[in-house]
Amino acid sequence: MAYWGFVGLAVAVAACWFFNVAYYREAQLEHPVFLDHYIEAESGSGVVFYLYVLENRSETNRIERIRIPELEDAQVSRSWNDSYRYQDLAHFEVFLDQEMASELYFENWEHAETPIMIGQVEVMYTDGSVSTENIGEIRLYPRLYNTDKPLSAQDKIMEAQRGQSTVVAQENLKITGVDYNEASRLGNRLELYWGQGSEVGEWDFERPEEDRIIGKPIHEVQFPMELKLGEDVTVRYRFRDVTAQDWSKVYQLLPRFRVETKKEIIQARPITIQYSPAPTEDEVRQFVEERRNRP
C-alpha cells in the first residue's frame, strides 16, 4: 500500500513541477525587448522623453547603459521599473540638457520639417556584451521659432494615458489650425478635445469619466480662432487601447499650432501628448508569448 502511495506521490510531484517549470519558462523573454516608440520632441528646451524596455525579472544580464549614437551626449538613465510577475517594465529617461540641445546640428534648420531621426540604440549589458536594438522612431525637431513664445502651455496635467494642457496667448494672435497628422497612425486610439471658458470644466478626478466636461472634439473646432493677450484654450487628450497589443506602442506627440501674430506667421508646438504604457498582467503575458512564437 505504502509502495503504491509513494509511486503515486512521485508521479504527482513530478507532474506539478513539470507543469509549473514549463509554464514559468514559457513566460520568459529570450532577451530584453524595447517597446515600439513613436516620439516627437523639440530640441532646445532640455528635452526629456522615455524609452521603455520589458525585461525578465530573473534576468542576471541586465541593461547597464543605453547609448543613442545620434545623440552622443544624451543622458540616458534607468528611472524606475513597473514590476509584473515575470517581467519588469523599465523606464529609461533620455535627457538633453540646454547646452547639449543647443549644440545639436540640424541640416535643414530653415526647413523645420526635417527632424533628426533615430531608430536604433546601442545597448550595453552587465556582462559586457553590446547589441543594437530597434526602438521605433524618435523625431527630434528643431525649435520652430527663436523669439518669445506667442503661446505658452500652463497647468499641465498628465496621467499615464490622458492629460490636458492650457495654452495661453502671450500676445494678440490668431490660431489658424492645429496639425497632428502623425497621430493618424494611432487610428482611433487618440481622442483630442478643445475647449474655452465654460466648454471646459474642472479636471475632476472624482467624477465618472463620462460626466466630465471635456470640451469638443478637435475636428469640430472652427478655425481660425482669435485669442487676445492672456486668453487661453485647453486641450485635453485621452488614449483608448483598442487591442491587447496597443499598450506596446508608445507615443509622444507634439501637435503643431499654426499661429498668426501681428509680425509673422509661425508654427508652435506648445503642448505634449504622451502615452505611458500601463499593461495588465495578462497583456504582458500575451506580449511575451507572441514574442516567443515569432520565427
Partner 1 sequence: MKPAFANLFWGLLLVWIDIPFSTFDVFNDTVGYLLIAYGMHRISKPIPLFTFGRWLAAFLAILSIPTTFSEESVSLFDQPFLLQGTWWEIWMSGVLGEFALLLLIYTLCEGIGRLAKSRGENGLFEHMRGSGSVYLFSAVPLMLISPFLLNFDIEALPVILLILGGVSLIGMLLILYGLIRAGRDLHRTTPKRRLDIRV
Q: How many CB atoms sit inside 10 A of residue 276's CB?
A: 19
- Owner of C-alpha cell 501628448: 273
Shortest Cβ distance from residue 89 to partner 1 (Å)? 18
Shortest Cβ distance from residue 79 to partner 1 (Å)? 24
Shortest Cβ distance from residue 24 to partner 1 (Å)? 5
Shortest Cβ distance from residue 137 to partner 1 (Å)? 32
Cis amide leading into 224 (omega within 30): yes
Please classify residue 85 by burial: count the beta carbons closer than 10 Å to its beta carbon, then call 0-12 exposed, 13-18 middle and 19+ buried.
Answer: exposed
Dist. CA 79–CA 30, nearest whole Å: 23
Question: Judged by CB, which is closer to partner 1: 92, or 287?
Answer: 287
Dist. CA 215–CA 199, nearest whole Å: 5
Shortest Cβ distance from residue 62 to partner 1 (Å)? 12
Shortest Cβ distance from residue 61 to partner 1 (Å)? 10
Please name every residue paired with 217 in a beta bridge, in sequence order, or none if there are none.
Answer: 193
Q: Which residues contact 176 (CB under 8 A, 6 or more apart)?
A: 223, 224, 258, 259, 260
Question: Judged by CB, which is closer to partner 1: 122, or 281?
Answer: 281
Dist. CA 77–CA 64, nearest whole Å: 9
Max Cα–Cα distance, the chain, nearest Å? 98
Shortest Cβ distance from residue 278 to partner 1 (Å)? 19
List of residues contacting partner 1 (CB under 8 A): 2, 6, 9-10, 12-14, 16-17, 19-21, 23-25, 27-28, 56-58, 60, 85
Q: Computed from CA positions of residues 17, 57, 35, 121, in that sequence, does the dihedral angle turn out positive or negative?
A: negative
Question: Judged by CB, which is closer to partner 1: 15, or 130?
Answer: 15
Concatenating the DSSP letter of every residue in 190-203 gives: EEEEEE-GGGB---
Question: Judged by CB, which is closer to partner 1: 58, or 184?
Answer: 58
